[in-house]
Every structure is written in structure tokens, then in C-alpha cells.
Amino acid sequence: MDLFKRCYEYKRVEEAKAMGIYPYFRALSSAPDNVVTMEGGRKIMLGSNNYLGLTTDRRTKDAAIAAVEQYGTGCSGSRFLNGTLTIHLELERALADFLQKDDCIIFSTGFQSNLSIISAITDRNDVILTDSMNHASIVDGTRLSFARTIKYRHNDMEDLERLLKKHAEETRGGILVITDGVFSMEGEICNLPEIVRLKKKYNARLLIDDAHAIGVLGDHGRGTAEHFGLTEDVDLIMNTFSKTLASLGGCVVGETKVIEYIRHTARPFIFSASIPPAQVAAARRSLEILIEEPWRVARLHEIAAYMREKLSALPHIRLHDSGNTLVPIIPIKTGTVMCTLKIANELFAAGVYVNSVLPPAVAEEDCLLRTSFTATHTNEQLDEAAEIIGKVFTEFADDPFCAGCLP
């Protein structure tokens, strides 16, 4: 069989484009702000992870520009060799201090962060217990590891304890529990107090992916561990720079011995070029703004509660119950793939961009429209978006493609 046969037979993209409902790779011709120009039209952006609104902040942009002027556009090498700049070390120290851990490594992408961490600290004698809804980078990190990987049911602490008890008795090595702090599709917060209790009971270690929690949870925006007051009990905290920190890259913080081991053994880190100067400087300045302006975190919580209440009051809309009003990720249930794509396309035409969440990210009949919000959204923008969403969902309430999908 020709290796490319599966590529030639792949028709989904062609079919979706022919129907006018293809939702991906829409191009912006403006900065990624609260309101953008996308494919020639004005759109209220409800699909970004720019949680604190810093991607267009003058201070962030100036820091990136200054870094390019001083250091150039790239590092032309691995951190291991010629690719470490003084600003890499400064950012690592600042992140360790902010997240209240001993040490830190920064990586070129958030995805690379999880690949590096997981593959470095586990081997064939170990067991990884991972939430079934964890991010794809965690899934691939476990595949890169030689450890035995077992999924526990999403946020199900009884299932996690069952697996911990079983493998604490059987495994020859150690156990690593991995969870998202905030689950990116659902906006749910992990049950960290119970996970910490269980990892202590069964002598496991804990890695939290806090990509959607830094700048979102905690009084100071330090994330899930601060939110629950459990910073000392979390062994490793991973973060990405592409959301709150308005850049590109990622990091992990933890105790010095562990971070030093990852630094010298993680193949995705060792054999990748280091994060470019502009991205380092933008992340550092964004971190400083987060510390200097805690009102952004408070405003984000205010917006999340405001929009959850506003959207839940609209007819024909069912929200996913995340169990909290703090996280600025509010998924709207849309049922089937076709209903989801048709509504998303109509919202786009009406001036609101949202993200379609389709299989395999969710089950076939549990598709979502993921809305997400930014601390710099104005109430006027939020009200306008909610009004458009309400009108579009009402239009589709009797559409045959959405039969049984909408209330």
C-alpha cells in the first residue's frame, strides 16, 4: 500500500469547505486583541487565551523590541551549548520566585515542556497516572516516556485512589500523578486538595500543568496551588508563556535537584534551539505586569462570573457546568459536529469568533463552542457578544441540523 493512501483519501476538510463550515486557520490581519480584524471583518474575539490582555500591551511590545535590538532575532543553538543568554537565566529566577519554588527551566514551547519533563523523570519501572482529559502534550509526554501509563477517570478521585493503591503495592519504581490545573476545554479546576492527600498517602509525586491557571487562579495569579493554598505540596508546576504571559515558550518549577536533573537529561530540551530573545523579554515583562497589576486577575474573575450568568440566562443555551465562576473559559454545549460547525460559522458571520471543540477532544455527541475571555474586555463588548450569541442560538433552535442539540 502507498504510504500516502490515507492522505489522499482524507476528505473531511474538502467536505467542510464545500459546505462553508470549515472553522480552522482563519487569518487575522490585526493584532490579537479583544476585537480583531479577521478575514476582512470586525470580530469580537471570544476564542483567545490572552487572559490578561498583554499581547498588545505597549510595555510588552517595547520589551520584545528592545531584546531584539540587544540580542538579535534568535539564539542559533541549544541552551546546552551556545544558546543561553543572561535573560534566560533572569526569567528562570523570576519565575521560580513568583511560583515560590527553588528552581526553574524554560523551554521553547509549552508542548515541549511536558514532553521534556515527563520523559526525563520517568522510566520503564515507573507508573504514570494521568487524568483522562489532560492536554495532548501530556499524552505525548507519556508516550515518549518508557513508563507504564494509565488514565484515571476525569476528576474521579475514587478511581485515582483505586489505581494508586494497586500500583503502590505492585510497581518496582515510583508513581507520578499528572493533572491539568484548569482543564482547557471545560474550564474545570482539578480537585487538588484530594489529589494532594492521595499522593501523600501512597508516596507518589505530582505534576500540575498550570497553562490555563497562571494569571487566572489565586489572589496573585500564581495558579492552582495558590488557589488552594497547597504550593508546598505540589512537586512540579508546569506553565506556558503563550497565554497569560503573552509570548511563546514554557517552564517547569520545582526543587533544585529535580530541575537540575531535567535540565541535563530531557532530550526535547537538550536538542532544541533555545527560546528567542523577544519571547523571553515579552514573558518577563508580562510577569512583571501581572505582579504589578493584580487588578487584572480580579477583573478576569469578574468577567467570568458576569458572562456565565449572562449566557446561562439566554434561551436555547446550555453551559457546561465547570463547578466554578472564576475561570474565564465558558463552554456552550452544541451536541453534534454539524450543529456545532453551523452555529460557529453563523456566529463568525455575525461578528463573534468562538472555538469549535470537536472529536477527538470530546465525544461525538458532546461537541462544544468554547468561549474564553480577557481581563481587558469591556462590558460593552461582552454585552454585544452575548446579544449576538443569543440571536444566533435562537435562529438555530428549530434547525434540523440541531434537532435535539439545543434546549
Catalytic machinery residues: 184, 212, 243
Q: How far apart are CA 376 and CA 366, in angstroms?
A: 31
Of 276, 269, 254, 231, nearest to 111 by C-alpha is: 269
Nearest to 281 by CA among 48, 78, 104, 85: 85
**Grid coordinates of 243:** 497565554
**Residues 88, 89, 94, 95, CA torsion sign:** positive
Q: What is the total residue count of the chain?
A: 407
How many C-beta neighbours within 10 Å does residue 393 have? 24
How would you list the strands of the sheet with 35-38, edge to edge? Answer: 35-38, 41-45, 352-353
Task: Answer for the pair 191, 219: CB distance below 8 angstroms, yes or no.
Answer: no
Residue 251 backbone phi and psi in degrees, to 5? -160, 165
Cβ proximity of 268 and 118 under 8 Å: no
User: 208: closest CA among 270, 131, 142?
Assistant: 131
Classify residue 186 by its DSSP letter.
Answer: T
